[in-house]
Amino acid sequence: MSNTWVDRLDNPASARLRDPAFTGYVGIFLGAFAAFLAIPPIEARTTTWPILVGVVGAIFGIWTVTRGRRRVGWGAVAAGILGLALGILATRSGTGNLHTVFDPTLIAQTFGFATPLVFGAIAGMISERSGVINIGLEGMMLMGAFWGVYGADRGGTWAVGLVVGAVLGGLLALVYAYFAIHLRADQIVGGTAVNFLALGITGYFFVQLYHNQPVPNGVSTLPNLKIPGLSGLHFFGPAIGDLNILIWAGFVLVIVAYVVLFRTPIGLRIRACGEHPRAADTVGINVYAIRYACVGVSGVLAALGGVYLSEGSQGNGTFIFDMTNGRGFIALAAMIFGNWRPAGAFGAALLFGFSNALALRLQVYSASASTLFNVLPYVLTLIAVAGVIGRTVPPAADGKPYRKQ
Amino acid sequence: MTEPGYTPSPEQAAETGTLAARIALKQRAGGIVVPIVTVVIAFLMGGLVVLATGHNPLLAYRAIFNGAGLNWIFHPTTSMASTASYNLSQTLLQTTTLILCGLAVAFAFRCGMFNIGGQGQYFVGFFVANWLGVDFASMSPLPHILIAVGAATLAGALWAGIAGVLKASVGAHEVITTIMLNWIAIWIGEWLVADGGPLQNSSQPFNPSSNPVSSSAELPVFWGSHTLGGLDVGIFVALAAVVLFWALLNRTTLGYEVRAVGFNPDAAAYGGINVRKNIVRAMAISGAFAGLAGALDMLGYLYGFSQNDIPLSQVGFLGIAVALLGRNTAVGTLLGAVLFGALLFGTTHGLTGNVIQPELAGNLTYIIQGLVVLFVGADVLILYVWNSRKRLRPARSASAAGAS
């Protein structure tokens, strides 16, 4: 069964259309569409359409499962049932609330919530592809969040903040890399230590430099990118016409990460270090150098995600204690959910970002229920690692220190 | 039950000149030295940060020492009029929690697993204790306390047991699952006391906090005033747990099996030990310790919680530092808990004077905690990694197995 990602890409489009996974993807799309039918802008006020489309999506999924593509198939079944249920719920809801929840800015907000996760997930993926587990994403992100504000404050412009945050996150990552690679310390313990350390360092210097005042006022923040043709339009304007530059940078990052990791010799070397460092060493690849570089880059990227948190449109140039509040771990979850692949991690980050944005808006229905909605990313990841919908496969040498011979 | 006196311990059994055995030996020899050196280094580096930011580190540490009430030993008194007595009682309250959270991490470690989910298991126990402490208000104190504490402990065990079952059945890595379970517990807690949540304060509907537990569920306070949050009997429960931890690991078949699996799961399986059963069992016991910690905190001195308290609690994570510093032994964990308990209270509420503000010093605890875990982790886990590489990478273990 040609089921790996590279195989599928090497095959021509016609072969990929015959792949049973294709129907699975159609099923997933139909499931999403079933829910989409009942909400603005289409807003069908009858239950018939969501039920019909959702059931068709689920049937596509079952067919896919019978053809052996279980992961995608069950995904489609779940999407179909979920879409159907959400669609029915939406038709039952009042139109006013529906318009509050589903306006075009939901899309912008989803991207906003997803961006730190995109940076974090790609950061984690690069590190883990080279064979170093990075539990310390949360801490590196936190470093970026604080030192980004500090840099922007002292340097006078957001660009300085971006650089300072990225450098400090990278430095913390290199400290971790030394323990993980040279000292061969347990990488999970080391990563946990990094998280504590970052919490302490950022908290300490926040009090020291800003006397625990929540807002250093008037800090230069990351600008938004107004797209001339789009920003005036009715739907696309508020949705994607006026997004932060780091959101766009996140999109670019996913593509760059894919190309570098899977389409260049450097990427091949990185993956070799993560799958079989001994073999990589034998053919002359410097495993330590690759791993140091990857962990360093990972720290820089995670820190950029943190800079977005504090310097982006939601943080608005302020820092608060423990600002990341678990986003590093959701990023880790997105990476695992996306099966250590750029596109998968991006999709998972979008899904988790969407659930965050939706949780915020569902408060119009019930405050407590919307709070509970926040567990969704974690539950989904738990289900994913439990292997219910196919297996998640980390790089073979992930988390194992390498000893040169 | 086997006679442990006549059975070689799993560590001894492998002590035949392999590298792992040499490391095990070195670990026992350096058992006390390494944690002390680690703490000294961490405090020195913390002191450098304090110095670099324009405070006197010696005076700062002295203020923290006094803030933790450790100066009580120079003029001991049971009177609560003395600040030192009050501070010490508060430090011991923190120590109680940290002993149990440390034991939770340590027990899983002894089975070769990293339970990073102590915080979640603590919270589950915390919430269940609040729920049962608020309900059944007409019950008489002893059964009420026993039911609430027992249910909370069980809840912690079940919560950790999920991770154990997932590891034993489908091989899901316990680090990932316990991290996820942490955040699920945190958000469930936020939901429980959110507007309209099931545990939310019924008399103040818009206040996101819980009801206080009924007086029949409150643990008796034996040192200090009940209203000022004096020291409750929970500390004796924690000390009993230390003894239980030691006895369970070193004097029972269960402990023998758990340690055998932790030392080398392949050898344990070859020797007829059910590895999967022990993974689930060790995780559940580990979670029980953390759940108990949550119950004692809730019924001992906090009595309730609000949404804001949830993200501020770090005790489950501090338990990692406590256990690693104590080298996953019973006594070591106890000592580690005293150190971090003193740091936790001494750098925050206990701290007075103008050498260093509590807001600043409180973060010093996290820095020292991070440094301790970083340095201890670089050493103590050589053994853990050694075991896990055999487990995770059968091909590479050939060289290690060949030497024995």
> Domains of chain B by range and CATH?
10-397 (1.10.3470)
The answer to whether residue A391 sits within a structural domain is no
Residues A88 and A132 in one domain: no
For the segment A134-155, the average pLDDT, to the nearest whole number, is 93
Paired with A243 in beta bridges are A225
Q: Which residue has the tokens 């070799």?
A: A272
Nearest to A153 by CA among A297, A315, A302, A324: A315
The pLDDT assigned to A17 comes to: 62
Dist. CA B215–CA B140, nearest whole Å: 10
Please say which residue of A47, A81, A99 terminates a domain.
Answer: A99
Q: Name the token pair of B352.
A: 């007075």
Q: How confident is the model at residue A204 (pLDDT cuts 50, 70, 90)?
A: very high
| Sign of the dihedral through C-alpha A401, A291, A125, A187 | positive
Domain count along chain A: 2
Phi, psi at A150, each rounded to 5°: -60, -45
Dist. CA B207–CA B219, nearest whole Å: 26
Residues A91 and A115 in one domain: no
Q: How confident is the model at residue A337 (pLDDT cuts 50, 70, 90)?
A: confident
List strand residue ranges (DSSP E) for A126-223, in order: none
> Which residues 188-207 of A have a C-beta within 8 angstroms of B?
188-190, 192-201, 203-207
The answer to whether residue A396 sits within a structural domain is no
Please say which residue of A99, A132, A165 terminates a domain.
Answer: A99
The pLDDT assigned to B5 comes to: 39
- Residue B184 and residue A212: Cβ atoms within 8 Å? no
CA A214 to chain CA centroid, Å, is: 27
- Residue A322 and residue B311: Cβ atoms within 8 Å? yes
Q: Which residues of B touch A203 (CB under 8 A)?
A: 362-363, 366
Nearest CA in chain A to B186: A375
CATH number for the domain that contains residue A119: 1.10.3470
Residues A311 and A229 in one domain: yes
The answer to whether residue A404 sits within a structural domain is no
Q: Which residues of A touch B200 (CB under 8 A)?
A: 368
Rounded to a whole number of angstroms, the CA Rg of chain A reads 22
The pLDDT assigned to B161 comes to: 96
The pLDDT assigned to A88 comes to: 80
Total residue count of chain A as it appears in this document: 405
- Residue B382 and residue A200: Cβ atoms within 8 Å? no
The pLDDT assigned to A6 comes to: 56
- Residue B320 and residue A371: Cβ atoms within 8 Å? no
- B359 CB near a chain A CB, below 8 Å? yes
Distance from the Cα of B129 to chain A's closest Cα (Å) equals 20
Residues A221 and A93 in one domain: no
Residues A231 and A362 in one domain: yes
The pLDDT assigned to B11 comes to: 47
The answer to whether residue A405 sits within a structural domain is no
Q: Which residues of B touch A322 (CB under 8 A)?
A: 311
The answer to whether residue A38 sits within a structural domain is yes
Residues A238 and A322 in one domain: yes
Of B166, B187, B365, Cβ closest to residue A372: B187
pLDDT at A52 over 80: yes
Nearest CA in chain B to A371: B191
Q: Which residue has the tokens 């959702």?
A: A54
Averaged pLDDT score across all residues of chain A? 85
Segment-wise mean pLDDT, segments of 10 residues, chain B, 404 residues: 42 47 52 74 89 89 88 77 84 95 94 92 96 87 93 97 93 88 93 86 82 90 79 93 95 93 90 93 96 95 90 89 90 93 89 81 90 77 48 49 41
Residues A137 and A51 in one domain: no
Dist. CA A349–CA A345, nearest whole Å: 6
The pLDDT assigned to B1 comes to: 37
Residues A110 and A91 in one domain: no
Q: Which residues of B touch A194 (CB under 8 A)?
A: 370, 374
Residues A141 and A15 in one domain: no
The pLDDT assigned to B356 comes to: 82
Residues A132 and A55 in one domain: no
pLDDT at A344 over 70: yes
Phi, psi at B221, each rounded to 5°: -95, 130
Q: Report yes or no: B373 and A193 within 8 Å, Cβ to Cβ.
A: yes
Nearest CA in chain A to B388: A400
CA-to-CA separations, B315 to A317, B318, B343, in angstroms, rounded: 30, 5, 12
Greater pLDDT, A319 or B402: A319
Dist. CA A214–CA A211, nearest whole Å: 9
pLDDT for A225-274, tens place per residue? 777 777 667 667 777 777 888 999 999 999 999 999 999 999 999 999 99
Phi, psi at B232, each rounded to 5°: -100, 175
Cis before B8 (ω within 30): no
Q: How confident is the model at residue A315 (pLDDT cuts 50, 70, 90)?
A: confident
Residues A340 and A371 in one domain: yes
Phi, psi at A141, each rounded to 5°: -65, -40
Of B365, B366, B381, Cβ closest to residue A189: B381
The answer to whether residue A400 sits within a structural domain is no
Residues A78 and A223 in one domain: no
The pLDDT assigned to A391 comes to: 64
pTM of the model: 0.84
When scoring A378, A379, A393 by the number of chain B Cβ atoms within 10 A, the one with the most, hence best to mutate, is A378
- Residue A128 is which amino acid? E
Dist. CA B137–CA B126, nearest whole Å: 17
Q: Report yes or no: A393 and A340 within 8 Å, Cβ to Cβ.
A: yes
Dist. CA B300–CA B97, nearest whole Å: 10
> Which residues 97-116 of B have a C-beta within 8 angstroms of A?
114, 116
Of A196, A205, A212, Cβ closest to residue B370: A196
Q: Which residues of A touch B166 (CB under 8 A)?
A: 382, 385-386
The pLDDT assigned to A148 comes to: 93
Q: Which residues of B touch A195 (CB under 8 A)?
A: 370
Give the CA-trace dihedral at A60, A63, A64, A69, to 10 degrees: 150
Q: Which domain holds residue A74?
A: 5-99
